[in-house]
Amino acid sequence: MQKDRFQPTVEYSRLLDSEDELAAFRNEFYIKPDVIYMDGNSLGLLSKRAEKSVIDVLEDWKGLGIDGWTEGKYPWFFLSEKLAEMSANLVGAKPEEVIVTGSTTVNLHQLAATFYQPKGNKTKILADELTFPSDIYALQSQLRLHGLNEETDLIRVKSRDGRYLHEEDIIAAMTDEIALIVLPTVLYRSGQILDMKRLTAEAHARGILIGFDGCHSVGAFPHSFSEWDVDFAFWCNYKHLNGGPGSVGSLYVNRKHFGTLPGLAGWFGSKKEKQFDMEHSFTQANTAGAFQIGTPHVLSLAPLIGSFEMFQEAGINRIREKSLKLTQYMMDLIEYDLDAMGFTIGNPKDERQRGGHISLEHKEAARICKALKENGVIPDYRAPNIIRLAPIALYNCFEDVWKVVQILKTIMIEKQFEKFSNDRNVVA
**Residues flagged as binding site:** 104-105, 132-135, 213, 216, 238, 267, 295
Q: Are 411 and 336 in contact (CB under 8 A)?
A: no
Write down the H helix ranges in 251-356. Answer: 272-275, 298-314, 316-337
Q: Are 116 and 123 in contact (CB under 8 A)?
A: no
- Chain center to CA of 89: 15
Cα–Cα distance, 426 to 428 (Å, whole number)? 6
Measured on CA atoms in the order 91, 96, 102, 105, is the torsion positive or negative?
Answer: negative
Peptide bond into 118 cis (omega under 30): no
Write down the H helix ranges in 116-228. Answer: 133-145, 167-172, 196-205, 225-228
- Chain center to CA of 313: 20
* Cβ-Cβ contacts under 8 Å for 289 (sequence gap 6 or more): 80, 81, 84, 96, 99, 268, 269, 272
Cα–Cα distance, 381 to 366 (Å, whole number)? 6
- DSSP at 35: -
Characterize 165-192 residue by residue with b for buried, 16 or more Cβ atoms within 10 angstroms of its Cβ, and e for exposed: beeeebbebbeebbbbbbbbbbbbbbbb
What number of other Cβ atoms are within 10 A of residue 259's Cβ?
9
Q: Are 326 and 297 in contact (CB under 8 A)?
A: no
E-strand ranges in 78-231 read: 98-100, 124-128, 154-157, 178-184, 209-213
- Chain center to CA of 290: 23
Exposure on the CB side of residue 246, measured as CA atoms within 13 A: 4
Please give the annotated binding residues for pyridoxal 5'-phosphate, written as ranges.
104-105, 132-135, 213, 216, 238, 267, 295
Q: How far apart are the first and last CA of the chain?
A: 32
Cα–Cα distance, 77 to 362 (Å, whole number)? 49
Cα–Cα distance, 338 to 195 (Å, whole number)? 31
